[in-house]
Structure 1
Amino acid sequence: MDLPESAIEERLKRAGIHLHVKAGNWCALRGNDHVSHNLVENTALVACTSGTTGLARFTQHSAAGVLANLQGIQEYLNIGTDDHMLVLREPSYLSVFVGEILLAIAHGARLSFSPRRFTPHFFVQTVLNGGVTCLTATASVLHALLPTIKREAAQLRSLRFVQLLGEGASLETIEGLATALPDAEVIHAYGLTEAGPRLTAWSSRKHPRERACVGEPISGVHLRVPDAETGELWVHSSAMMLGYVGERGASPDWLATHDYGRVDERGLVFVEGRTDDIINRSGIKFMPTQIEQLLNEHPAVRASLIQARGMGYGIRLRALIELVEGQQVQPDELLRFVRYRLPSAMWVDDVEFVTVLPCKSSGKLDRAVTTA
């Protein structure tokens, strides 16, 4: 059910969560005096993010912004007191705190977190024995669990929602989940700590034929690509941060997401990757995901990751390949499979087979890691 912001706030207060905190009285950030003494007025929540720099920065959020984002999330993730949410992510992320923890508390749902390391058996038994109705995880985690989900689908019938977030999801993962769990609504959410954290949501029920997009902006969020059809996405949100701790200046009205994509005439948002992932080879600019999508169409390939090494004309492209269980394929066959469909500047030079694609601690795929 949808609750007005005032009702959400009241329920959070009854649970001991008070979002209206005076900046001068903030003292809950593990004794970090630098942070606690440099907050702007109306700060109710502080989150840590590495953003695009890789360096830790603290974002400040108002109670009104948090409640506005929570309002938008509940409009597409309609849970209630009969629901049990299982989160396969670290609870320290702002996205999890707002989109799962506060949402569950506001609607009286049961909430469970997995241990940092868990087995597919643990996952299946938790869903089966706990009557889990809503599952949330990164695309990489759900991709790794996909064989188990397909094999044990009959044991997972309690699921009403399966939500992917935190990174882009492959069509194979989304289609695999939708096919294996036809009674569950698959949701692919996209967000940004500085402006939400949630910005858009795609639903298998609402847009079943548009599985390559991340859906429509939620309430209070607007996305656009200035002066171009495809380019860097910019966001305006009613949940925009108040600013970074210790950095002067108010948060801008429109914020660059550093994500590369487009917004079509229907308002659906397509994200192709990070702007800093763009490869410029022989004067041709392209996203590694364009190659990965083609590689993933091969029946022996479960997932792929393109890594660029070198600079300028000396750039070499390496494809890390995770194979479907029981399948084998020669590197030359994969190279031929994509080459006739791509310009020469996008041709892959090397293929390396891996058991699991490399991921960061956040669960997102890691293009920078060295595997050999």
Structure 2
Amino acid sequence: MDVTQATGSSRFRRVHEVITPWIGSHPDSVAVEDSRHRLTYQDLDEAVQAAARQLRELGVRPGDRVLLVAENCAALAVLVLAASACDAWAVVANARLSPREIDNFIAHSGARRVLYAADVSPEALAHAQRAGAATRAWLHVGELAVGPLNECAVPEPVSHDAGGQVAAMIYTSGTSGRPKGVMLTHAGLLHIATLSRRLRGMGPGDRIYGVLPMAHVVGLSSQLVGSLFCGCTLQLAPRYAPEATAAALREGTTVLLGVPAMFAKLLEWCARTQTSLAGHSLRIIGTAGSPLTMDLKQAAEAAFGLPLQNGYGLTEMSPTVAQTLLDAPRQDCSVGPPVPGVEIRIVDPSGNDVASGNVGELWVRGPNIMKGYYRDEALTRAAINAEGWFNTGDMARQDSDGALFIVGRTKELIIRSGFNVYPVEVEQVLNGHPAIVQSAVVGRAADGNEEVIAFVELAAGVSVDRDELDAYLRQRLSPYKVPTEVRAMAQLPAAPTGKLLKHEIKRLAEKAPDVQQRLI
């Protein structure tokens, strides 16, 4: 029987309820595990209920925000679900953020309590010590540090309706670098969870490698809520390492989801260490979060012997907008058709629909759209119009078969000598060079014009000559698209997910290279 029929999202008002069917049918199946804890669905239910009681004892009320400073671990999964059971908002912050960033999140969210996974992450421990947090024991998941009560916190209104009640708030800077608190509803997260079964066919036999941080939307939504909705086993890893990923694949992992950079680094590590990926139990490999290149797609498919699925989404859409289909593998780098329930428009600068196949700005709407940006009604109104369309800021085109192609960001468009240069096109060519693991292309103002500046991360122990690289690029790009400057870095600035931080890279382009960068 289809799980979406037996446990359809309409049965649930809150995300913690997704484990309920499995407590009855698969109580002894492992739900969540990390390097120290292994919780069955029965254990997880007990841990969530006990944590919810403790949160209430700590003064957490319905409508309060609970900030969770952690990296992926079983305790974090329990606390996210426990916040749901309290009708509080889970605000997950990656422990590797700076004290300034954590303090900004605490102040902006008006968190009633801040909890720290101090025995899992040394960075979380440092934040906890700075805050004077006290350690407490939590059932099935060990100790967590609890910050002082914010007696000035004001609870937000609570809605019985899943579409009106916020389940989680994710802070995102997007391409602008300005942090925004994205309010995600229970209905939105539950809608995405149903797609894990409907489009990926996930179920109790699946083992998901959970390395995408729950402080980001894919890790929280598709990875955590989606896995539990389907009765899977979620193996949580605090941070990405190619060798750890390869080891997990030898332990029966069936679904591996990540950003392109994760697959690129895994393949580079395998080549360097002469490690084969043969003999795995995977049935799905998939990527999203940044553009996929044909070279990486083909290399990954050759290494795994599986089609590399692709998708597209945004934090504001909880996150999925489009996804390739398992029964219709693609030979291109499309992100697939819009997922069920999501509508799209591709429009010109005046908001009029463009002709089929033409490039325009992508607008989306659906049941998974955010409630808005917390404490910023003006920004919310600017992003979502009166008809409910969210302006993604991405440039896209749609083929006649319905497949979407993401061309680039509106704000990242480079206009060089009157010609449009989409960074993603240049990045795809650069990433196809055998010496380059990944790249980032940005624009830089220069005497009334814009220059194309590229940053590249080279494979370990490999160098490249600029004349040779120029010849390679000129064979594949129009002259105006060839970068004026190419800088090599040991590691490009990236979020914990592996997604490159374009706003930081753009700032680097405005400055002369330092010791961590060298011109090619």
Aligned partner of 2:63 in structure 1 is 26
Residues 324 and 236 of structure 1, relative CA distance in 2, 3 Å threshold = same
CA drift of 1:172 comes to 2.0
Larger-gyration structure (1/2): 2
Aligned partner of 1:5 in structure 2 is 9
Q: 1:137 aligns with which of 235, 254, 258?
A: 258
TM-score when scaled to structure 1?
A: 0.86
Residues 97 and 36 of structure 1, relative CA distance in 2, 3 Å threshold = farther
Aligned partner of 1:331 in structure 2 is 466
CA drift of 1:270 comes to 0.5
Q: 2:408 aligns with which of 237, 258, 273?
A: 273
Aligned partner of 2:283 in structure 1 is 160
* Contact preservation (8 Å) 1:162, 1:185: yes
- Partners of 2:290 and 2:330 lie apart in 1 by 20
Aligned partner of 2:227 in structure 1 is 104
Aligned partner of 1:37 in structure 2 is 155
> Which amino acid counterpart does residue 37 of structure 1 have in structure 2?
P
Deviations 1:216-261 (A, max 9, x none): 1111112221232202111011211222222337754111111111
CA drift of 1:8 comes to 6.4
Structure 1, unmatched stretches of 5+, are: 19-23
Aligned partner of 1:87 in structure 2 is 210
Matched, 1:206 2:206: no
Q: How does 1:227-266 map to 2 (within 5 A)?
A: 227-228=353-354, 229-248=358-377, 251-252=384-385, 253-266=388-401
- Partners of 2:312 and 2:215 lie apart in 1 by 18
* Contact preservation (8 Å) 1:230, 1:260: yes
Deviations 1:190-219 (A, max 9, x none): 111212311111247513322x21111111
Q: 2:445 aligns with which of 291, 307, 310?
A: 310
Q: 1:349 aligns with which of 468, 480, 484?
A: 484
CA drift of 1:313 comes to 3.9
Aligned partner of 1:68 in structure 2 is 191
CA drift of 1:89 comes to 1.6
Residues 306 and 57 of structure 1, relative CA distance in 2, 3 Å threshold = closer
Identity %: 25
CA drift of 1:111 comes to 0.7
Matched, 1:320 2:357: no
* Contact preservation (8 Å) 2:287, 2:310: yes
- Partners of 1:62 and 1:38 lie apart in 2 by 13
Residues 154 and 141 of structure 1, relative CA distance in 2, 3 Å threshold = closer
Count of equivalent residues: 363
Deviations 1:33-76 (A, max 9, x none): 69863457421313223234422222333333322222233222
Aligned partner of 1:146 in structure 2 is 267
Deviates more, 1:30-39 or 1:301-310: 30-39
> Which amino acid counterpart does residue 324 of structure 2 have in structure 1?
W
Residues 133 and 332 of structure 1, relative CA distance in 2, 3 Å threshold = same
Please report the RMSD computed on the Cα atoms of aligned residues, expressed in angstroms: 2.9
CA drift of 1:300 comes to 4.2
> Which amino acid counterpart does residue 214 of structure 1 have in structure 2?
V
- Partners of 2:406 and 2:442 lie apart in 1 by 19
CA drift of 1:342 comes to 3.7
* Contact preservation (8 Å) 1:261, 1:270: yes
* Contact preservation (8 Å) 1:59, 1:245: yes
* Contact preservation (8 Å) 1:188, 1:202: yes
SS of corresponding position for 1:67: helix
Q: How does 1:185-200 map to 2 (within 5 A)?
A: 185-200=307-322
- Partners of 2:403 and 2:281 lie apart in 1 by 30
- Partners of 1:246 and 1:335 lie apart in 2 by 48
* Contact preservation (8 Å) 1:64, 1:239: yes
- Partners of 1:355 and 1:180 lie apart in 2 by 25
Aligned partner of 1:21 in structure 2 is none
SS of corresponding position for 2:201: coil
CA drift of 1:138 comes to 1.6
Residues 219 and 126 of structure 1, relative CA distance in 2, 3 Å threshold = same
Q: 2:249 aligns with which of 127, 133, 155?
A: 127
Matched, 1:116 2:116: no
Structure 2, unmatched stretches of 5+, are: 24-44, 53-60, 68-109, 113-151, 348-352, 509-515
> Which amino acid counterpart does residue 25 of structure 1 have in structure 2?
P
Matched, 1:223 2:227: no
SS of corresponding position for 2:438: strand
* Contact preservation (8 Å) 1:224, 1:263: no
Deviations 1:302-337 (A, max 9, x none): 433323333454533333334456765421121122
Deviations 1:124-163 (A, max 9, x none): 22221x3111112221122111134565344552111112
* Contact preservation (8 Å) 1:124, 1:155: no
Residues 60 and 308 of structure 1, relative CA distance in 2, 3 Å threshold = closer
- Partners of 1:328 and 1:319 lie apart in 2 by 16
SS of corresponding position for 2:324: strand
> Which amino acid counterpart does residue 246 of structure 1 have in structure 2?
R
